[in-house]
Structure 1
């Protein structure tokens, strides 16, 4: 990760380097880039859903999604052929919550993930393509047994330690949400509808295939979300290139605006692409999908 300015440590993040973005461990291990992108996006959505069920605050959930994304970066990051995305998601959320004012127990985390990953009970489209069941499912399909809990707990702790080592124990994540609200006040754009739209754009950007949260600083993300929200709500800001006041140039703003606008279309396309099958969230499923593609390519 690229270093940050020590004086702005709490307002900025270490960003991914070009080499980390172009050479992931998964790619080196032969995972197709589109499959890796799909799994990363599904993992972010899984983390979001689990955080909501655990009643964690959105800032904790967002930090966990960023930690999850960082883990797969570069040749030294995790590979989807070695680590299951579901385990990394659970450990990222557990770790982030543990370091916050809202720690949650391993049992609570694992119970929630067991439910969300149940092929019969899950409401998540990328786990259960048939959709949430109309009738309450059998409890056995989503309740973790005591033996299953003890085994999953060991995996949770092991993956947590692997994440920490992979990230060099740097778990700092600065988020753009509070910065954006401060910028709105500075610009005099205090309408609740605008603030709500800004937050929606920032939360949606966590699912961006361009990995916007690990390629751009929080101030730039905040400015881009404000630019989009004020235009959508018909709110005129000050004349001139106001974004430069917040240390964002036109080129970076343009890239982020396009990236944020495209996220909804990307998720919609993913939903259509995987409509009839689940996105692989464990190593064995990733291997099966890679083999399926190989056989199709060879016409077997």
Structure 2
């Protein structure tokens, strides 16, 4: 395979310094709050992409770009850029670069629905739960004035994302690689392939940022390993993962990371029970001030 071909199957990974020193942390955002907001933003992107009818490939790429945006001291800060705006711009940009472009109006109407505490089905936006009946269209369609203002914000944040990422929007995903590996291993049961894809999609929400710290081939191998164990499928003898250029230590880390996501999400839902995760700058500032006052009151 040519060097160009190899590049298309790999990603530029986050450096240790980018992982330990984000712009948000420098601006005083507690690490646990930063993680909660980042994971909520990934869920928001996923849900918005589904409502817009985008492919999972497009949605996954948008989540990776959204995640990359916040990395490092030179990345975006949650104290400056609203999570919902970055999510919307990442999804709009990714769709625009694909065979499934979607209009700014469609994107903004969907985000208005999802970010409303009255109409949203998302637990971290609407703690009361999704309404029993579908919300009236006029409750989330933007007026012309609101739309024009939101459109300017969308396009501005899109340009900020491109600048911070150095215009590098390439994202290699592990899904197709994993299916190819399954065929190579002779694991052709549909249930195994389905579980592999489920693990890869869930890993997009990982608090360990698995998609920006490990290459697609390693993510694919870890998802296959987990799915095969869960479905009781014996793969080939020996350290088969080494054939796909993954060592035991990396495999172990990824498997633990993927398996820990369910517990992490349960803890998040308990921690934020009856509260909303701040997705805009003003709400984040209020949450940080609330925490400060609680500490000072102790």
| TM-score, length basis structure 1 | 0.97
Equivalent position of 1:143 in the other structure: 141
Shift of 1:135: 3.6
Alpha-carbon separation, structure 2, partners of 1:51 and 1:60: 8
What CA deviation, in whole Å up to 9, does each residue of 1:105-131 have, x standing for no partner?
000000000000111110100100000
Alignment-derived partner of residue 283 in structure 1: 281
**2:72 aligned with 1:90:** no
What count of residue pairs does the alignment treat as equivalent? 296
The residue aligned with 1:45 is 43
Cα distance in 2 for partners of 1:181, 1:135 equals 39
Residue 172 (structure 2) aligns with: 174
Decide whether the 8 Å contact of 1:118 with 1:141 is kept in 2.
Answer: no
Partner-residue secondary structure (3-state), 2:264: helix
CA contact 1:120–1:141 (8 Å) conserved in 2: no
Cα distance, 1:140 vs structure 2: 4.3
Structure 1 moving runs of 4+ over 3 Å: 135-141
Unaligned runs of 5+ in 1: none
> Does residue 1:244 correspond to 2:247, yes or no?
no
Matched, 1:207 2:186: no
Match of 1:292 in 2: 290
The 1-side partners of 2:70 and 2:295 are apart by 27
**CA-CA distance at 1:6 after TM superposition:** 5.3
Q: Deviations over 1:3-22 (max 9, x none)?
A: xx755110000000000000
Instruction: Give per-residue Cα distances to partners, 1:146-181, cap 9 Å, x unaligned.
Output: 110000000000000000000000000000000000
In 2, Cα distance between equivalents of 1:192 and 1:207:
24
Measure, in 2, the Cα distance between the counterparts of 1:252 and 1:190.
25
1:269 deviates by 1.1
Counterpart of 2:251 in structure 1 is 253
User: After superposition, where does 1:50-69 map in structure 2 within 5 Å?
Assistant: 50-69=48-67
SS of the residue 2:44 aligns to: helix
- Counterpart position of 2:16: 18
Give me the CA root mean square deviation. 1.0
SS at match of 2:53: coil
Q: Which residue does 2:214 correspond to in 1?
A: 216
In structure 2, what is the equivalent of residue 108 of structure 1? 106
Q: Which runs of 5+ in 2 are unaligned?
A: none
Distance 1:263 1:198 in 2: 15
Q: Which residue of 1 aligns with 2:124?
A: 126
